[in-house]
Amino acid sequence: MTARISALAEVDPLSVPLPHGTEVTLRVERLHHGRRVPQGLVGRIVRARDGGFDVLVTGVGEIWYERAELAPRRAGQLHFAQRREAAWQSLFPCRVLEATVGSQAWGLADEKSDTDVRGAFALPFSWTGGLAEPPHDLVSADGSATYWEARKLIEQALRADPNTLELLFVPSVKPLDEIGQWILDAREAFVSKLLFGSFGRYALSQLDKLSASQRLAEHRDLVLAWLCEDPTPSLDELARRLAATEQSDDTHAMRTRLKQLYRSLWDQGLLESNDLAGLTAYARAGGRRPPDARSLRPKNAYNLLRLIELARGWLATGKPTFAATGAFREQLLTIKRGELELEEVLKQAEAMSPALEAARDGSALPEQPDFERADALLRRIHQELARRHVMNVPGPWSASAEEPKT
């Protein structure tokens, strides 16, 4: 432990990579749309771009900074960034499988779409026996590429995880090693009626959450307007008004929503206090507002509809079709552009539910994945990695492979 602390002390916080999601401290003051963003605020890395980073600053928005203008927020963040980059550099050659996924694979990309890569890697034998916990994910600094360790990939696939099954079956998938080919040869072992829940029901539940978020945003706009009235309405009065807009008598539920509202704004750093008084001061100050509810068009809703249709087709035919075509593709693009009300998206999802359930009921897919075949695959992979280590087979899995640092 002492050695680790000493090593961290020697690391220059301005030189370590800043992966997607890293919390950083702003080292310079900046003006953003006429607003002063002081030095010392905390933000989170959103993406690497143009030699620097887009940073999300709570209550302000995304601002671009040069690398020298940012420092990891905590020693833990510094250590995480250091280990993440070290794992990427050491294990990137150990990739066994790779594919282009996301909108590029779905036929829904536009000029603003990124190219997302997903894959799998196999740990060298020397990484599996010591005290150091080996990484189970490799993630590029900009977040556009993710690779799962082979065991994690298999465990996720057995749960019918949508992202994992997409990697295994998308047309662009290619093996980078014999081990990757073994995984592809066994991929049908992971396909079962569990698709119904992990794809279809999951998508429907996420759409319900989007609907709830939309209602909360609409309530926010109403409440902020009401709090500018004189005299200021009480919490009970606000609850009664909200209940009336919902044609409900449940004022207790409306009180709960009001508390959720000011807690949410407090968490975003927009309120001076986590209570109704703080919300009132915020409403009357006329400062920066979150997006109006009418402008909230959750664009990821298009992917949820895509998942429902993918599950239906896979259950019905036994084969996946990832690229959307024809009228359905145009429908998804309309949602992606934010041109369709969320309520309409929800109606479309509900209309797709009977066909999804009928596909499950009539599906020829097995009820459960083939656990024995998956177990045999994982054992084969581990035995092969041990063989390459013992025989010192040339390549990234040889006995001379770099070992993890404790």
**258: amino acid identity, one letter:** L
Residues 259 and 359 in one domain: yes
Residue ending a domain, among 30, 48, 79, is: 79
Does the pTM surpass 0.75? The reply is no
CATH code of the domain in which 51 resides: 2.30.30.40
- 36-40, 213-217, 231-235: least confidently modelled range: 213-217
Check whether 177 has a pLDDT greater than 90. yes
Is the residue at 405 inside a domain? Answer: no
Residues 374 and 342 in one domain: no
More confident residue, 213 or 305: 305
Number of structural domains in the chain: 3
Residues 277 and 131 in one domain: no
Is the residue at 270 inside a domain? Answer: yes
Is the residue at 400 inside a domain? Answer: no
Residues 221 and 296 in one domain: yes
Residue ending a domain, among 48, 63, 79, is: 79
Residues 207 and 343 in one domain: yes
Percent of the chain exceeding pLDDT 90 equals 49
Residues 279 and 361 in one domain: yes
Residues 337 and 205 in one domain: yes
Check whether 369 has a pLDDT greater than 70. yes
Residues 270 and 306 in one domain: yes
Q: What would the DSSP string read from start to end of 36-49?
A: EE-TT-EEEEEEEE
More confident residue, 320 or 42: 320
The pLDDT score that the predictor gives to residue 5 is 37
d(CA 45, CA 85): 15
The pLDDT score that the predictor gives to residue 7 is 41
Query: Residue 298 — very low, low, confident or very high, per pLDDT cuts 50/70/90?
Result: low
Query: Residue 299 — very low, low, confident or very high, per pLDDT cuts 50/70/90?
Result: low
DSSP H or E run through 330: helix 326-336
Residues 290 and 345 in one domain: yes
Is the residue at 397 inside a domain? Answer: no
Is the residue at 395 inside a domain? Answer: no
The pLDDT score that the predictor gives to residue 1 is 38
d(CA 177, CA 121): 10
Query: Residue 406 — very low, low, confident or very high, per pLDDT cuts 50/70/90?
Result: low
Mean pLDDT for the chain overall: 86
Q: What would the DSSP string read from start to end of 174-196?
A: EESSHHHHHHHHTGGGG-STTHI
Residue ending a domain, among 79, 106, 141, is: 79
Residues 119 and 153 in one domain: yes
Percent of the chain exceeding pLDDT 70 equals 89
Q: Please state the rounded mean pLDDT for residues 315-332.
A: 95
Is the residue at 406 inside a domain? Answer: no
Is the residue at 396 inside a domain? Answer: no
Q: What is the DSSP letter of 19?
A: -
Q: What is the domain range of residue 35?
A: 2-79
Residues 337 and 260 in one domain: yes
DSSP H or E run through 334: helix 326-336
Query: Residue 81 — very low, low, confident or very high, per pLDDT cuts 50/70/90?
Result: low
Residues 238 and 348 in one domain: yes
Contacts of 115 (CB under 8 A, 6+ apart): 100, 102, 104, 144
Query: Residue 229 — very low, low, confident or very high, per pLDDT cuts 50/70/90?
Result: very high
List, for residues 114-169, the tens digit of each pLDDT value. 899 999 999 999 998 888 788 999 988 778 899 999 999 999 999 999 999 999 99
Is the residue at 19 inside a domain? Answer: yes
| Termini Cα distance of the chain | 9
Q: Is 42 left (phi over 0), alpha (psi -120 to 50) or beta?
A: beta
